[in-house]
Amino acid sequence: MIIRLILHLALLLLFAPMLNGIIIKTKALFGGRIGAPLLQSYYDLARLWRKGFVFSRTTTWVFLAGPVVGLTVPLLASLLIPFGALPAPISFEGDLILFVYLFALSRFFTVASALDTGSSFEGMGAAREVTFSCLAEPTLLFVLLVLARLSDGLSLDTLLGSHLLTAWHSDAGASLGLILVCLFLVLLVENSRIPFDDPNTHLELTMIHEVMVLDHSGPALGMILYGAALKMMVMGALLVRLAFPWQTGWWLSDALMFLAGLAGLAVLIGVVESIMARLRLPRVPQVLVGTMLLSIFALVLVLR
């Protein structure tokens, strides 16, 4: 149990920033550049950790609660979810609801810390973030319900158990394919990637997630970046397990397979970011409504 917990956390804490490195490298290769080294995210985090703080005169403790909760939540949520074939260290009936609401908690504090600066740019980002989540959250719940319908339990560990392999070959394969698409879109919107949000945009007016953390600096910004990396890995773990439900039985090969799956996902995100432009802002809710309808359709298919 303890060993499993340590392995889980070690995988998460050590490899999460790597995903961003892979995405940046992929995008650079598409652009014909060599790009930053794979470990650039780690260097950035180390640099931010050594810096001082700059605070706005307007802010209160809520401003600092954002980064702290933003780091805590993915750490705890990761314990509920299996990493590939490695089972989740904590699992109980109904933990999928806690999983979703933990991320809601981090959203609440991210948004609150943005509003704490009193800047209208950050208010703009906050309003967009909470609005998109109104559509992304039900989609995620529907996706999890499809999985629940195919398994015999309501914990994430049973939802993402070894029965997925047979489910892919059965009638439910079509539904699984649909929710894989939905999950990928939810992953993109929740982690502020193109086509929903551009992490590298340089105009405050067009940002969503980046604009909410404009005023954070030094170690606080580092915590936010690290928390965002952890969140991407946790949500990616859901997708990777669904797409690659194989298991070998030996922990090391399972872990390696999981990491390879995540790397593949990062490359995929990089490819999407390279070949697509950002959606116009009013289009985003429309795409998300479409995604939600797709997930309901998958649910109907699996009930049939």
Partner 1 sequence: MNLLLSALLILFGGSLIALSVRSSTLATRVGILSVLVAAPMAGYVALKVLLSGQPLSFSAPWAVPGGEFSLLLDPLAAFFVLPISILSLFCALYAGPYMAHAGQSRSLAPHWFYFNIMVTAMLLVVIAANALLFLAAWEIMTISSFFLVAWDHHREDVRKAAWLYLFAAHLGMMLLLLMFLLAGSYCDGFNFNNFGPLAQLPIGSASLIYLLALFGFGVKAGLFPVHIWLPDAHPAAPSHVSALMSGVLIKTGIYGILRILSLLPPAPAWWGWLMALLGAGGALYGISLAAQQRDIKRCLAYSTVENIGIMLLGLGFGMVAAAHGHPKIALLAFAGGLLHIWNHALFKGVMFLGAGALVHATGTRDMNRMGGLLRRMPLVGLLWIGGSLAISALPPLNGLISEWLIYLSLAQAGTALDGFAALVPLLLFGLLGMVGALALVTFSRLIGICLLGEPRDPAAANPHKVAPAMLVSMGSLLAGCLMIGIFPQGTLRLTSTALSQVARLPVGAELGRAVTPLGLGALLLMAVLIILGGLFAWLRLFRLQTQTSTWGCGYPMPTARMAYTGESYAEFVSHHLMPKIMRPKVSGGKVSGFFPISSKLAQSSTDLVLMRFLQPLFVALADRCQRLRWLQQGQLPVYLVYIFVASAVLMVWSLWAGGHGGK
Give the three-state DSSP class for 245.
coil
CA-nearest of 152, 139, 150, 137 to 242 is 150
Q: Within a 10 A sphere around the Cβ of 282, how many other Cβ atoms?
A: 7
23 binds partner 1 (CB under 8 A): no
CA–CA distance, 123 with 91 (Å, rounded to integer): 37
> Is the Cβ of residue 147 or residue 255 nearer to partner 1 in the bound state?
147
> Is the Cβ of residue 95 or residue 198 nearer to partner 1 in the bound state?
95
Tokens of 32: 């014909």
**Residues 29-58 interacting with partner 1 (rule: CB under 8 A):** 51-58
> Is the Cβ of residue 134 or residue 276 nearer to partner 1 in the bound state?
134
Determine contact, residues 197/278, Cβ cutoff 8 Å: yes
CA–CA distance, 237 with 244 (Å, rounded to integer): 10
In the complex, the smallest distance separating the C-beta of residue 51 from partner 1, rounded to whole angstroms, is: 7
137 binds partner 1 (CB under 8 A): yes
Q: Which residues contact 137 (CB under 8 A, 6 or more apart)?
A: 100, 104
In the complex, the smallest distance separating the C-beta of residue 296 from partner 1, rounded to whole angstroms, is: 7
> Is the Cβ of residue 92 or residue 246 nearer to partner 1 in the bound state?
92
CA–CA distance, 23 with 243 (Å, rounded to integer): 19
CA-nearest of 135, 110, 116 to 231 is 110
170 binds partner 1 (CB under 8 A): no
Among 12, 85, 88, 126, binds partner 1 (CB under 8 A): 126
Count of residues binding partner 1 (CB under 8 A)? 79
85 binds partner 1 (CB under 8 A): no
Among 23, 88, 148, 176, binds partner 1 (CB under 8 A): 148
**Residues 224-283 interacting with partner 1 (rule: CB under 8 A):** 282
87 binds partner 1 (CB under 8 A): no
**Residues 190-219 interacting with partner 1 (rule: CB under 8 A):** 204, 214-215, 218-219
Tokens of 75: 């750490």
CA-to-CA dists, residue 7 to 12, 51, 82, angstroms? 9, 30, 12
Among 39, 46, 97, 260, binds partner 1 (CB under 8 A): 97
Among 135, 185, 224, 240, binds partner 1 (CB under 8 A): 135
107 binds partner 1 (CB under 8 A): yes
Which region, judged by CB under 8 A, interacts with partner 1, from 9-17, 136-144, 166-174, 175-183? Answer: 136-144
* C-alpha triplet 73, 271, 232: angle, nearest 5°: 5
Determine contact, residues 254/86, Cβ cutoff 8 Å: yes
> Is the Cβ of residue 8 or residue 128 nearer to partner 1 in the bound state?
128
Return phi, psi of residue 280, to 5°.
-65, 145
> Is the Cβ of residue 52 or residue 249 nearer to partner 1 in the bound state?
52
> Is the Cβ of residue 62 or residue 272 nearer to partner 1 in the bound state?
62
Rg (CA), the chain: 19
In the complex, the smallest distance separating the C-beta of residue 219 from partner 1, rounded to whole angstroms, is: 6
**Residues 53-72 interacting with partner 1 (rule: CB under 8 A):** 53-60, 62, 64-65, 67-69, 71-72
Q: Which residues contact 56 (CB under 8 A, 6 or more apart)?
A: 63, 117, 118, 215
Residues paired with 83 in a beta bridge: 86
